[in-house]
Structure 1
Amino acid sequence: MLKKLGKILLGLLLLVLISAGILYALYHEPLPQGVAGKEADALATKMLTALNHEAYKEARYLEWSFVNGKHHYKWDKVSDTVLVSWKDYQVSLDLKNSTKSTAKKGNKRVTSDKEKQLIKKATSYFNNDSFWLVAPYKVFDKGTIRSIVHLENGEKGLMVTYTSGGDTPGDSYVWLLQPNGFPISFRMWVNIIPIGGLEAGWDTWQVTESGAFLPVEHQLGPVTLEMGSVRAYR
């Protein structure tokens, strides 16, 4: 029985590896070479203008959820704090000084070791999930490099590389834009995904209370990433 089970598991593992190899060969694209400079900065500014960046800056609070509503966020951009909740955990993150962050399970604050683990997990959740909400507004963040890349259709894309910050520094994204600068999608070259060039949609927007545009969902192949009830307000 154990030998048969072992053969089945080995066969399944080989099938997964073969499938992964086929997917890699079919869809992987090498990271394009971009040209940094004024043209790239101008294209990034054009995108921010289309999205009403000034209204985004004036919005104090951002609210959304992610992973089909499993992670919930209320971000105070002025105090740089975030309330992160999932299951029966609530973590109050201080993004400037992590030692001031606290964690609860239900209505009770957890012990110090468990609290550190929850704060670390909440920070990782926030780094990932907030990017899917506000990535276009982060193109001039500290540690970013903007460059122009030439696309297959003859148009130009905006590549943004994050050399620092977040959980996976070194990730690159190529934004595909409408003529007016509005984002359509981006292609990803990120550490956690071995296939480079996967495309995620950024074409489902809502105008928030502040007047800024924020996405309500993203299409990533057959998967829809929903952002929940998105708000941006003062």
Structure 2
Amino acid sequence: MGLFYAYVIDVALNPLLLSLNRWVVTFQSRAIADEWWRKIDDNPTAQKSKITRISPQLYKNDASTGYQAYDSITEKEDKMFFTALPGRGSYGLTLIPPATITDHISGGTYFIRSQSSPDIYWCVKDDKFIHASRTERTKFRIRIKGASTEGKVMIGSDDIQITLAFGDLKTNTNDSNVLVAGKKAETYKFSDFSGGFMIQGAKGPDECGRESSEVDKIYKTDQGEIWELTN
């Protein structure tokens, strides 16, 4: 995914003037948008109460506190910027493109699928290995490791644990780096979904041109592919 956009609206002003204090925020990527929000969400000061995340593409700012949303930009100046929107009654305003995405919330349940081949999903079979499958899929619960992390937006640097959404099986890696479901919960990085897991074997048609429905197991690697979380 390329550039990612969000609206920020100031809710503190008179409704007649509300449109004079709206911004479109352009992020280098959806990941940068999530990192920006986590910086705000994790801030130990009252900054968190001044900006509220409604959805991945909509935030509200209470400027009556003396804090403007764009004041949050520090080290990410080159990866995001604010653009003021014209006032009420302006014509020719183009809406930002809505993004069909799954919100990455700690403690949520997700299917995991290949970005390059969206019909391939992670699936736990009777052998307890995690397979890549075109015919079956398993829902997983993904959470940031540690206490009081439920509901937080997950970002690449987070330590996470992956469990089955139902039951008590947890994801770990065996001696062959293959992912299995068992009693032990291994810690991964959320960024592992962007290059840390790979299918052990070919994904495409076999040597006779037949499309295989089962495409082997998932293993941990440093040169993997990109996986998407879906609901």
TM over 0.5: no
Answer 1 or 2: higher relative contact order, Cα 8 Å, separation at least 6. 1
**TM tier relative to shorter chain:** under 0.3
TM-score (norm 1): 0.24
TM-score (norm 2): 0.24
